[in-house]
Amino acid sequence: MSKVISLKAKQLTVLIKPASGLCQLSCRYCFYRDLIQFGDAPLKIMKPEIVSELIYKVADSLDTNGHVIFAFQGGEPLLAGVDFYKQFFTKVRHAKLHATYLFQTNGVALCTPAVGDEFIQLFKENNCLIGLSIDGGKNLHDANRVTPEGEGTFDCVMQAYKKLVSAGIEVNFLTVLSEAVLSHPEQLYDFYKSSGIKYVQLIPCLPPIQEKTNPIRDLLAPFWIKFHDMWRRDFVNNIPPFEVREFTAIYRGLAGIPVDTCIFPGKCSPQLIVEADGSLYPCDFYVLPQYCTGSILTDTLEDTLHSEGMMRFAKDNPPLPVQCLNCTYMRICKGGCRRMRSSWYPELGNCPMKLFLDHIVRR
């Protein structure tokens, strides 16, 4: 085993991509295909020795009463297989770690009768939180989330959702705000309400990393305004609405409460992204060769914070445009996520987030 860090953390969050960018789907807006084109992380399943080294490094880095969040995503993390996770959970128990498990999945594997049932039992036994990628009702979801043959996946994903709920497993929805979804805020809202979901995330669709404009930009503010007003109407009428991560962050910011989500950070805090081959990166949006911070096999967690890749990642953070610096809401969004800022908020033109915040404040 290699040397590990001496500083002890009270909490760590580790984002693991056990199947790298591998996926059964061919979603039309997938930004991982863009990263695969420009990156050098191989497409394969994480090997047991990498898992062992990762858990060892995490265990040695945590305070005695520390807590670690293991977040699995991809690509599609369930492609690593049931046995992979059985072994992972066993190794975590042997290391006596206090751990929480999060998964972000397209749900397809859960529709396979035998394998799906095994996964659901495993999730239940280990108290996993499941994020399900779903873009609303059938017509909205199937507009982009398709198989390589072009077939929609809505029916399969809803089957997975019902199985998870029936098993008593906590489920959240993650929706990509594509042009199809942004054009129909009422449909999306009604779908969420009818599904009984309690928590959702709304992630704007990103253009390829080399693009500096985003075709959905002008659709964002009208969508947010309409969707928010339906959500607020239910709240005012004592109809408990589902929680929207982005709205929670905004209202906390307006109330002067620190916002701890990555969407309004003001700066990029170092993250621990572990690719299937053990390579490490500071952000899931920037799994690129120039930002590699090391390998879990050879480097300590502290090493990654001072690596050349981490320094380059910090240095390459573009300065905020004047429009952001002079904005009334700078204290809330702080310019937003740098990956999104480059295509959302050009120096000229109306910022969709400002238009949305203007609307909320006027209400």
Helix 113-125 / helix 82-94 crossing angle, nearest 10 deg: 20
pLDDT at 4: 39
- Where do the domains of the chain lie, and which CATH numbers do they carry? 9-318 (3.20.20.70)
pLDDT at 37: 56
**What is the distance between the alpha carbons of residues 249 and 334, in angstroms, rounded to a whole number?**
12
Q: Model-level pTM? A: 0.92
Q: What are phi and psi of 66, to 5 degrees?
A: -70, 165
Q: Are the CB atoms for 147 and 154 separated by under 8 Å?
A: no
Whole-Å CA distances, 224 to 119, 179, 189, 247, 352: 35, 13, 11, 10, 9
pLDDT at 3: 40
pLDDT at 1: 36
Neighbours of 136 (CB within 10 A): 24
pLDDT at 2: 39
Residue 70, classed as helix, strand or coil, is strand
Amino acid making up residue 282: P
pLDDT at 261: 76
pLDDT of the chain, 363 residues: tens digit per residue: 334 344 578 999 999 999 998 999 999 998 766 655 555 556 789 999 999 999 999 998 999 889 999 999 999 999 999 999 999 999 999 999 999 999 999 999 999 889 999 999 999 999 999 999 999 999 999 999 999 999 999 999 999 999 999 999 999 999 999 999 999 999 999 999 999 999 999 999 987 767 767 888 899 999 999 999 999 999 999 998 899 999 999 999 899 888 777 777 667 777 899 999 999 999 988 889 999 999 999 998 889 988 999 999 989 888 888 888 889 998 888 888 888 776 666 555 678 999 999 999 987
